[in-house]
Amino acid sequence: MKMITALIKHTRLDAVRKALVEIGVQGMTVTEAKGFGRQKGFTEVYRGVEYEVRFLPKIKLEVAVPAARVDEVIKAIEENARTGEIGDGKIFVHGLEEAIRIRTGETGEEAL
């Protein structure tokens, strides 16, 4: 099993969610996050006062999947999160040792 974590733009969340549901992903966790990468933030002027935005808003999407489905899920996220502009985000894949469905006690891939 693998945990896929994707950091994407807010505007791409609906497209990514729809694509994942269409390929049969049954659950995901979405969190609002802030951070920076190569962009390093930006400077903005508000009411005549200049200030620096160091952390940019992003969406953190987490999906637990069987190892055999990793490539399919990554492809769906990539294709639907990509705008071609700086700040499209990143995808990370982590090993997932165990999953347990609390309600039923199911473990492993059955719990996903």
Cα distance between residue 14 and residue 96, in whole Å? 26
Helix, strand or coil, per DSSP, at residue 104: coil
47-93 pLDDT per residue, tens? 777 777 778 899 999 999 999 999 999 999 999 999 999 889 999 99
pLDDT the model gives residue 16: 98
Q: What structural domains does the chain harbor?
A: 2-111 (3.30.70.120)
Whether pTM exceeds 0.75 = yes
Pair of tokens at residue 91: 């995808």
Pair of tokens at residue 15: 């497209």
The yes-or-no verdict on residue 32 having pLDDT over 70 is: yes
